[in-house]
Amino acid sequence: MTRRSRAGARVPGLLAVLVLLAACTSGTGGTGDAADRSGPAPSTTTTAGGAMLDNPVLGQGADPFLVHTEGQYHQIMSASDGNGVVMRSATSLATLSTAPEQTVISGGDGGSPCCEWWAPELHEIDGRWYVYVAADDGDNENHRTYVLSADSVTGPYTFEGRLRLPGDRWAIDATVFAVGDTSYVIWSGWPGATNGEQDLYLARLDSPTSVTGPVLRLSRPELDWETHAGDVGVLVNEGPAALVRDGRVFVTYSGSGCWTPQYALGMLSADTGADLLDAASWTKSPTPVFAPQEGSGLYGTGHNSFFTSADGSQTWNLYHAVTNPEGSCGSDREVYAQPVTFAADGTPQLGTPSADPVPLPAGDPGQ
């Protein structure tokens, strides 16, 4: 199975945690109501260097993911009530935040779970489009990853059922990538049957809805920077995003609790020719590669994804952050973007989080 192109910060399920965060989020992992989420379109200004786009580029939202294909950006996200998935599309990043929302699926349709649809992602595999998303029956302990499919990026989408992962355990934030003709999935899951720690797992896909062979625990929260848990006490690795470039695989992920201001991005890397299911093939960065910086006014800078500019020449980092210095997993999260550069050895350089304006992605026609 080959993958032809590629372009949920989370509240733990403990009842006490849900009560703690109920005042600031409309359902765990939710992004607030649609009217608040949209807001005004980010403005563009023209400078001597060209058009600039204000940050946050996509307004209110969390766990952002978009692709550019066939002349349009397509952003996929949880529905405003958390119980389904929606998409919006536009020719420019400058107008995407105010584009109308199209329903991809409503919770309960086609035998799907009712509730708490988190961190949907959109991927093209062998000429079809697939949505990977976590959902449950209203009880976070029953979160599993599900798959939708369609012939076209805009649908209509069919509910394919659960992504068949070994162990039938809690599983969220699935992302997929390919090395040659081999496709893989990474997800965030509990190492056991109860909450307390979220680890990253890697397995090979034998179809868009099932895995084969062994499973590797790719990362667990063990470094100082990724073990901030506040009063909640849950240790977190989540939100993986993969880049395959120049013979190497790079996986960014979010460490520490999304409810803390220290929520940040780490990175794992491996050679594409190595056995990716062997832990020895991977190197883990000892420090975060993208983290809140003093004076930036942004906190909880995590759960990123990557997208390609309209002309295919640039890679961009899309992430959510809050301006609350205490951190937040609530509806005050907003979506920011900035271009990625690469070191001489090909390693992505994400820079530092910033609310400063950014140039329009290359090839973007603007407003």
Enumerate the active-site residues: 63, 238
Left (φ > 0), alpha (ψ -120 to 50) or beta: where does 187 sit? Answer: beta
- Please enumerate, as own/partner, the contacts of 246-252 that have beta carbons within 8 Å and a separation of 24 or more: 246/346, 247/271, 247/272, 247/273, 247/346, 248/272, 248/346, 248/347, 249/177, 249/179, 249/276, 250/347, 250/348, 251/186, 251/200, 251/218, 252/289, 252/290, 252/304, 252/348, 252/350
Closest CA to 88 of 117, 66, 55: 66
Q: Give the other-Cβ count within 10 Å of 232's Cβ.
A: 21
* Bridge partners of residue 215, in order along the sequence: 203
Among 99, 72, 76, 100, CA closest to 87: 76
Report cis status (omega within 30 of 0) of the bond before 156. yes
Are 305 and 329 in contact, with CB atoms under 8 Å apart?
no
